Amino acid sequence: MSDAPAIEAVLFDIDGTLLITGGAGAVAWQRAFRELYEADANIEEHTQAGMTDPEIAAIIFREAIGRDGSESERAEAIAAYLSHLADAVAESPGYQVMPGIEALLARLSGAGVLLGVVTGNIEAAAHIKLDRGDLNRFFAFGGYGSDSRDRTELTRRAIERGGAVVGTPLDPTATISVGDTPRDVIAGHGAGIRVAGVATGSYTVEQLDEADADWALATVEHGFPV
């Protein structure tokens, strides 16, 4: 990797990488399904870190309602989730921006590195989660769960949008993503970029290394490649 060009763009996952909401997303899904169907929707029992919001909605319908929701029902459920998310995030005592993140983002943006997000959150949910930590100000573009259920595809969309921001396609060899799960590693590699795995979510440094992260770090404060 010593012959690789200097990194010019960095794409950050949100949950477990930039921040944790302390379970606010699960609370919002629970409130949404109670409101619409009087059903309990415990996503922690049925989902895994790194899933996209549309995937989560489909799983909740199968597990909590016992059938696949129609397209209009899934849209209604996502709208209800969003209507509860801001309050759930604001109320969460466990909300936390991850160690070193704000200082890193300020340093990178000050050095002219282009910053984006790449996340399974639908776009509106991503901005709600970032807002409490005052992190929206760092990101000019992103790839979201509302773009695709497939994390590799939404990572590609983020790379395309980054190119639109600067007026020329991003160089994949000068672009990296940062995430806390093996799904993030697979997505970044699938999109043709290198990946820094950070063990600030549900996976250890060893597990991220086994998933072939190009860098496996305890936090972004320890050995970040830019």
State which of 35, 57, 91 marks the end of a domain: 91
Give the confidence band of 178 by pLDDT, cuts at 50, 70, 90: very high
State which of 91, 114, 143 marks the end of a domain: 91
Quick one: average pLDDT of 7-17?
97
Look at residue 116 and tell me if it is in a domain. yes
Separation CA 176–CA 8 (nearest Å): 9
Quick one: average pLDDT of 195-216?
97
Q: What percent of the chain clears pLDDT 70, i.e. is strictly above it?
A: 95
Give the pair of three-digit tokens for residue 1: 């990797």
Separation CA 146–CA 134 (nearest Å): 22
Number of domains the chain is built from = 2
Residues 122 and 139 in one domain: yes
Backbone angles phi, psi at 215, to 5 degrees: -135, 130
pLDDT of residue 52: 85
Separation CA 19–CA 32 (nearest Å): 23
pLDDT of residue 51: 79
Residues 211 and 138 in one domain: yes
Stronger pLDDT, 63 or 159, i.e. the higher one: 159
Question: Count of CB atoms within 10 A of residue 190's CB?
Answer: 14
Residue 9 has pLDDT above 50, yes or no: yes
Residue 31 has pLDDT above 50, yes or no: yes
Contact 130, 27 (CB under 8 A): no
DSSP codes, 87-99: HHHHH-TT-EEPT
Mean pLDDT of the chain: 93
Residues 17 and 31 in one domain: no
Give the confidence band of 3 by pLDDT, cuts at 50, 70, 90: low
Beta bridge partners, 9, equal 114, 175
Stronger pLDDT, 63 or 150, i.e. the higher one: 150
CATH code at 40?
A: 1.10.150
The predicted-structure confidence for 90-145, as pLDDT tens digits, reads as follows 999 999 999 999 999 999 999 999 999 999 999 999 999 999 999 999 999 999 99
Residues 74 and 124 in one domain: no
Residues 110 and 73 in one domain: no
Give the confidence band of 49 by pLDDT, cuts at 50, 70, 90: low
Residue 147 has pLDDT above 90, yes or no: yes
**Which CA distances in Å does 139 have to 9, 18, 131, 198?**
11, 12, 11, 19
Residues 84 and 170 in one domain: no
Look at residue 171 and tell me if it is in a domain. yes
Residues 83 and 166 in one domain: no
The residue count of the chain comes to 226
Quick check: pTM over 0.85?
yes
Q: What single-letter amino acid sits at 66?
A: G
Residue 1 has pLDDT above 50, yes or no: no
| SS3 annotation, 154-181 | HHHHHHHHHHHHHCCCCCHHHEEEEECC
Residues 213 and 104 in one domain: yes
Q: Residue 37 sits in which domain range? A: 24-91
Angle, to 10 degrees, between the axis of helix 24-37 and the axis of helix 71-91?
130
